[in-house]
Amino acid sequence: MKNLSHDERKLLIIQGLDILAASLAGIFVTVFFFAHGDLKITTLYNIAAFVSMTFFYGLSGWTLRYVSSGVLMKLSLVSGSLFYLLLFFLKDQSIAYVIPLGILSGFSGGNFWASYNLNQYILAHAARRISYFGWAGAIFSLASAVGPGLGGLIITLVGKTSLGVMNGYLVLFFLVALINIVTVFIIGKLPSHGTLHFSYRHIWEHQRTKSWKLVLGQQGMLGLYDIAIGTVTSVLFFVILKNEADLGLILTMASAFSMVASLYAIPLLKNYPSAFWVGVIGSTVSIIVFALFQSPIGVWLFIATSGFTAPILSNKLSTVYFHALDEAEGNWQEKYHLLLERDIVLGISRTLSFVGLFMLLQFGPEIQLAKAWLLLLPIMPLAIGYLIQITHAPEKT
């Protein structure tokens, strides 16, 4: 990490703190809604969240004219704290408010990533992108590794007292709300930057290059499975493992594997640009294996295979995306419509993935249908790999 700039390292710290807070309780929000409702309730919450996130990310082209990216990021963290506090006070009645809760969650996420991604593009130097995204993946995985295990432990330990399992969840949600508030003060002041030269007309009027169209295709394919599969597999993990502590442990191990992979992806992709196919094949195989083997062994095979390979694909996706941004004419102040366009495509495809899942769950036993749904997904990473292969993005090290 020594070769990264001060601003790049600060961005990684911000991301680490945000992911730590989210990973502590994020998966347990899914399990909480599932335990007090069903998988349809969990899916409905995600539909509301991603519709909201896409809307507020899209609105950021207007918002960032009047609010600095640092203030917008802090506002998103405060609203994230409010989300967890509402879960704390509503308790099991939260399932009656999944749509407004999803909207609030989306407001927080959309504004955070709009401001974070803008700063990331400005501050992450083109010549260090493989290193930057390698470290970003490692920190993401480290924070994600600490969170689920600790979160599951908190729920289990509180659940063994007279307070019960319900209050274990509530203690965790309250703790995450506090972490978000503390993070607002830890972030301090982000480096200042100029005003965006942006109009929504740019999205409709700009001429898309071949490489940019391929990037949008890659991101659309990614959104059709990346978040939804995490939600479904987490519910299935919980059904198989039967308790929060074991669920937290397995997700911690998955993130630990990903952290290792994110670090060795740096030299691997520098020396062998086509090594992203390892991530493509690993992601594909892991989905098929887990869909066919619904058991603790299947769980371990899934997290090991995907954990040690998927980050290589993630690193390549990010570098190809940023290289395509670099190729576009103009300076960063004139390119915000490209960042917006990419995340709108990603948000819409993620929403569609949950809408499709929600519709499928109406036709029979939820868990059986969720298992069958997994068998539809292996085509997605293969399609992404093909689109990367034909992009021919320039490699920078």
What digits encode the pLDDT tens for the residues 224-253?
Answer: 988 888 888 888 998 898 887 888 888 888
**How confident is the model at residue 61, as a pLDDT?**
77
In a domain, 271, yes or no: yes
Tokens 């594909």 identify what position?
284
Total domains present in the chain: 1
In a domain, 313, yes or no: yes
Query: Is there a domain that residue 202 lies in?
Result: no
**Within a domain: 195:** no
How far apart (Å, rounded) are the C-alpha atoms in residues 93 and 87? 9
Does any domain span residue 395? no
Tell me what pLDDT residue 393 has: 45
Give domain status of residue 192, yes or no. no
**Is 49 among the domain residues?**
yes
**Entry pTM:** 0.75
> Within a 10 A sphere around the Cβ of 98, how many other Cβ atoms?
22
Q: For residue 24, give its domain range.
A: 6-186+207-389
CA–CA separation, 279 vs 257, rounded Å? 13
**Residue 75, domain CATH:** 1.20.1250.20
Give pLDDT < 70 ranges for the chain: 1-3, 123-130, 188-199, 202, 331-333, 392-397
Q: How far apart are CA 347 and CA 106, in angstroms?
A: 10
Please report where in the chains the tokens 């995907």 appear, as a residue: 306
**Domain membership flag for residue 269:** yes
